[in-house]
Structure 1
Amino acid sequence: MRAVRSMGVRGWVGLAVAMVAGAAVPLEAAEPVIKAGEKVTLTGTLQGGIMAIGGETTGWRLTYRRGEKPAKIEVDMAAIAEARKFDGAEVTVKGRIISKSYVERGPTLILKAATVTPEKEAPAPPAAPGNVKLPGITINIEEGAVDVEGTVCLHAGMLEFVACTKGTKEHESIVAVDARPMHIHTALLLLGAQPGNPAMRRLLEEDGGRWVEYPPRGGPVHVSLVFAGDDGKTIERPIGDFITRAADDIGGAPGAGEEVEDRKFPTNTFLFAGSQLHGDGPGPRRYLADGSGHVISISTFGDEVLCLPGVHGHDNGALIWEINPAGLPDVGAKVTLRLRPRGGSKDRDRSP
């Protein structure tokens, strides 16, 4: 007891310190204090359209974190171009702290922004859709057209086709293509072209077995030929430039003395007839134009992908067209047959 008493006040204080030293929790470092004149970099959410009494505000406020707590500071955005695009964004603001004395609010610290950088880059606008490829075909988004690779196969003679597949009717067609007609059909559908039907006959059994004629129908498709000129520049010409009324009196055609203008092919627009699917048994049906090679016809066959309105054949004296080689690339030259559905957003003001 005497030993305890002899410790005195200093002894008791020392003992108390020693007893609590092991259990003491260190104090957190003081949070940094922002002062006028300092250069700072703060990250947080920037908000515009802020109002205050008497209009005493810059109109901008940054909410950021100081230690574990949120803090707010007014921001002067006068030096920032297109400041409005940062409203509501997570940003990093670099600048200097200034002090401004408002009448109502009194001295107020303001961050005078020098630069504002978004924390997350704004998402890039979606890329424009690219061209779509099929064998021998490009769906040309910019042109709003189906581009079919082909080869010039004729420079003289009567025509029953504008285009056929290779190894079929090259002796009476301007262009031979590698692509399957069914793929051309698919590409036109992807551009919004409306298919119909080629000219056909159907038996109506409920009407006593009477045959009924159906005329061709389908959405209009403008046809042109694209190729490189002698100077290497791309040339696009309507397909009718390479078709003319026969000079000889074939099928009732006028003679060679007829005016050139009267011998012009009457249209560059064909109907998207869409050929036909054939087959009644199990398994997939056949796309008839894949077998015949009839892509774009002048004469009526009933299985072509594109055709003229009406019926054209020997019976009605309509097979009166021959090739016009003026300006047409040489036989064997690579060309592009461009099929542009009419009425689409990319359709241009073109001749009929």
Structure 2
Amino acid sequence: MNAHEFAAVLKIPVLTAWALAFSMSGPSGNAAWGQDTAGGSGTAATDSESEDASSKQSPPPTLRTLPSISDPLTEEEQKSPLDEYVGPDEIAAKAFAPPPGAKSLSSRNLWVDRKASRVYIDGYVAMNDGPLEMFACPTGTKEHESVVATIAHSAEVHAALLAVGAMPGTTVRFLPRYVPATGQRIRVWVCYRDKQNQFKVVDARNWIRKTGTNDTMSVDWVFAGSGMWKDPSSGREYYRADSGDMICVSNFATAMMDVPVASSAEASELEYSPLTKAIPERGTPVRLVLMPIPLPTDENNGKTEEVAKPTEDILPANEAAKKK
């Protein structure tokens, strides 16, 4: 039986018949037309078919046997590309040694120096060009709209600010009228090393510009304090800013730190944008230094004292990580 006859019997296209026959072929590659490899069984060939057979065309190659899905994977096949991936948060967590004189407040790279009234937070540059609602957020939350992603959670940073004496205030209110966030002002510094391993320190506001201009942000952040939310089904309480609203440049009623001026979160009306040319490339490890700005007192005649810019000693290299 040839391919045409095989197709006619099964009422299928000739090419389909060929494919089906090849899938049924034996180790020799002979198509399963009903004859064995010796040609001794099956329908007798006609004269014309004998003449065709005399040309002795080469049979199609035997199809390669594919491995069974139940075959065990080799050790090399078991290695996933994800096993070798190291995220920017992991790199940032090992980039620097702890700041001298500071006490660890969390296993997530968070320290406090009560004597110097400083909070240290490690993280990395998450975004340097795009819509901006936060300056900093915890990793795994709002990195797509934040300049920096921190390893520590917002609730932990809140506790750290309290530990160095910062005074929380109130979050923004929108109804019945707009009331800006309040709280002690907090200066935010960004410390990092450039590609030449040179120490850099910059006021975080200089990485943010007024949308449509190159004017950098002038207002300081205030420690608004966010708040707690209770899940009615479980009764469990959550710190609201842990969802991403750590250091905001758009007003949110959930903000841990906010700007004390009207700043919309509407995409078409964003007050601030990243100053892209000033921000290093994404993934760059950074150490944020949060410093409460002293409140005016009678002793300083009601004047606000300036806070000292951090120096290179607060950013020691992690020599232990380099040896690994």
1:287 aligned to which of 221, 239, 243: 239
Taking the aligned partners of 2:146 and 2:294, their CA distance within structure 1 comes to: 27
2:172 corresponds to 1:199: yes
In the TM superposition, 1:142-157 aligns within 5 A as: 143-157=116-130
- For the residue of structure 1 that corresponds to 2:276, the secondary structure is coil
Over alpha carbons, which structure has the higher Rg? 1
- For the residue of structure 1 that corresponds to 2:200, the secondary structure is strand
The alignment's TM-score, normalised by the length of structure 1, stands at 0.51
- Asked if the contact 1:139–1:145 (Cα under 8 Å) also holds between the matched residues in 2, the reply is yes
Tell me which residue corresponds to 1:298.
249
1:165 aligned to which of 125, 138, 143: 138
Post-superposition Cα deviations, 1:7-47, rounded to whole Å, max 9, x if no partner, equal: xxxxxxxxxxxxxxxxxxxxxxxxxxxxxxxxxxxxxxxxx
Tell me which residue corresponds to 1:226.
191
Post-superposition Cα deviations, 1:143-176, rounded to whole Å, max 9, x if no partner, equal: 4211111110112122111011222221211001
The alignment's TM-score, normalised by the length of structure 2, stands at 0.55
Unaligned runs of 5+ in 2: 1-99, 296-303, 310-324
Taking the aligned partners of 1:221 and 1:130, their CA distance within structure 2 comes to: 18
Taking the aligned partners of 1:177 and 1:307, their CA distance within structure 2 comes to: 16
Taking the aligned partners of 2:118 and 2:210, their CA distance within structure 1 comes to: 28
Between the two proteins, the alignment pairs up a number of residues equal to 200
The change in CA–CA distance for 1:318 and 1:140 in structure 2 (over 3 A counts) is farther
Taking the aligned partners of 1:317 and 1:343, their CA distance within structure 2 comes to: 36
- For the residue of structure 2 that corresponds to 1:303, the secondary structure is coil
2:202 aligned to which of 216, 233, 237: 237
In the TM superposition, 1:79-158 aligns within 5 A as: 130-134=102-106, 135-141=108-114, 143-158=116-131
In the TM superposition, 1:15-30 aligns within 5 A as: none
Taking the aligned partners of 2:305 and 2:157, their CA distance within structure 1 comes to: 18
Select the structure that is richer in strand: 1
2:286 aligned to which of 332, 335, 340: 335
Following TM superposition, by how much is the alpha carbon of 1:329 offset from its aligned partner in structure 2, in angstroms?
Answer: 2.3
Counterpart of 2:186 in structure 1: which amino acid? V
Tell me which residue corresponds to 1:266.
218
- Asked if the contact 2:252–2:258 (Cα under 8 Å) also holds between the matched residues in 1, the reply is no
1:179 aligned to which of 152, 155, 169: 152
2:161 aligned to which of 188, 191, 200: 188
The change in CA–CA distance for 1:244 and 1:164 in structure 2 (over 3 A counts) is same
Taking the aligned partners of 2:277 and 2:254, their CA distance within structure 1 comes to: 30
- Asked if the contact 1:132–1:140 (Cα under 8 Å) also holds between the matched residues in 2, the reply is no
The change in CA–CA distance for 1:233 and 1:213 in structure 2 (over 3 A counts) is same
Counterpart of 1:220 in structure 2: which amino acid? R
Counterpart of 2:127 in structure 1: which amino acid? L
Following TM superposition, by how much is the alpha carbon of 1:307 offset from its aligned partner in structure 2, in angstroms?
Answer: 0.3
Following TM superposition, by how much is the alpha carbon of 1:199 offset from its aligned partner in structure 2, in angstroms?
Answer: 0.9
Taking the aligned partners of 2:222 and 2:177, their CA distance within structure 1 comes to: 21
2:272 corresponds to 1:321: yes
Tell me which residue corresponds to 2:49.
none
The change in CA–CA distance for 1:340 and 1:318 in structure 2 (over 3 A counts) is farther
- For the residue of structure 2 that corresponds to 1:326, the secondary structure is helix
Unaligned runs of 5+ in 1: 1-127, 203-210, 248-257
- For the residue of structure 1 that corresponds to 2:277, the secondary structure is coil
- Asked if the contact 2:105–2:160 (Cα under 8 Å) also holds between the matched residues in 1, the reply is no
Taking the aligned partners of 2:308 and 2:161, their CA distance within structure 1 comes to: 19
Counterpart of 1:266 in structure 2: which amino acid? S
Aligned residues: CA RMSD: 3.0
The change in CA–CA distance for 1:314 and 1:162 in structure 2 (over 3 A counts) is closer
- For the residue of structure 2 that corresponds to 1:164, the secondary structure is strand
Tell me which residue corresponds to 1:5.
none
2:313 corresponds to 1:348: no
The change in CA–CA distance for 1:215 and 1:316 in structure 2 (over 3 A counts) is farther
- Asked if the contact 2:122–2:288 (Cα under 8 Å) also holds between the matched residues in 1, the reply is yes
